[in-house]
Chains A and B, each alone.
Chain A
Amino acid sequence: MSQQPILDVQDIVKYFPVAGGLWSKPKAWIKAVDGISFQVYKGESFGLVGESGCGKTTLGRTILRLIEPTSGSIKLNGREITRLNQREMRALRRDVQMIFQDPQASLDPRMKVASIVTEPLRAFQKTGRQQLRDRALNLLEKVGLKADALDKYPHAFSGGERQRIGIARALCLNPSLIVADEPVSALDMSIQAQVLNLLGDLKTSFDFSSLIISHDLSVINHMCDRIAVMYLGVIVEMAPSNMFGRIQRHPYTAALVSAVPTPDPHKKQSPITLEGEIPSPVNPPPGCLFHTRCTYCFEHCRVERPTLVEIQAGHTVACWLNNGRGL
């Protein structure tokens, strides 16, 4: 793995206003993403995992500027994109594509598959009809769909096939980065495996880097080289996936990992159950964001928010337990 980041995110922040009255200022801010930094390197699969509402989807869309970030910097292939105007940003999309969660919603019901998968191509260059069809055919073949899919509408396909169409669309321009937001969570178990394997194969043949967002730790673990765990708008732990199964230094990660079911029915499982709900991002707790649910919480956790500290090469944790100050 070379050390040139395709995507370099620094201190990205996204606050959504909670509307006050008609003309008054916003009453409060939802801190969906609250200062996140990470890099995705060339050829790498970077996984972002966290429970619902932790801001991972917002983060994914902010990176593509489908949502404007409140502050922070995003560099794509070394180029700062947060200050690009719409036109410049559009030109950049050639290189970074997205796979959406719900293939039912993300495909236009009134567009034929041939047009859907070649939409990125048509957005960037004038292409003849026959060339478009050839390209569409080629893409469909790559994702394992038959040629007769070309002239059908999305509703004629099953969920898994629709997601394949969505993947074909993302691959159309041979992008260097693909952001996949919960690429399989709308599919049932058996199809999930197929689609994940397909994504893995395509990654080898198309040679793209990917940012995979999911709530499912087993999906992320299977797909990614490095994993970041998000909680309430911040990253609490980041580690290479081969280290992940064995050591977790953050209590939240430990709870997540222990909750993943194992296929062995005789193995006794004792998941760590977290007390309470995820706090509201409108009014996050002071100090460590996780302290309200953490069993190891002590005085200092309630006062100061821990920052990510590298405890091993490539393994960073934001927890006072690991900073040498607590324990």
Chain B
Amino acid sequence: MSLTFLEAGLLGLVLVCGLTTALLKDVLSAIIAFAAYSLGMAMLWVVLRAPDVALTEAAIGAGVMSLLLLLTIARTVRPSHKAFTESIRLRTAGVVGAFVLVLGTTIPSLPAIGSPRASVIDYRVTEYYLANAYAQTEVKNAVTAVLAAYRGFDTLGEATVVFAAGIAVLVVLRKEGFT
């Protein structure tokens, strides 16, 4: 697919919000910038035809995550700074730059975006799901069919992780601990 204005704008929004999040010194401002970043991501998922991911991102990424972060600074502290932005340390920037360059060298070997012959698309697992999901599960949404039926154990594992995280949060925040 060629780069459309809509997608270029959304990518720009996401990158600018990400950079703003990194550079703002004030934690509350960074959280707000991060919420905008998540919202941009949710819109990008819609453009990339992933409505399920977009809904989850908007509800969890922009909603629950911002709420958790805000609750954290409400219970702890929002340090006040004289400086508006973070000062950039060249050594770290160099390390991250090297990391980005090394990752960037892999880009030319990736398939072009939207190519029907890309390995993920032109692969028998994808083809099997798309051809058989409705006949076997009677669920029209292939994502739901894969999530709940074909990869149900993955989803069970995910539920286990959420449960374990809930218990961990309770244990950590309990003042006396288990006695």
Pairing of A with B: no
Binding site for A on B (CB under 8 A): none
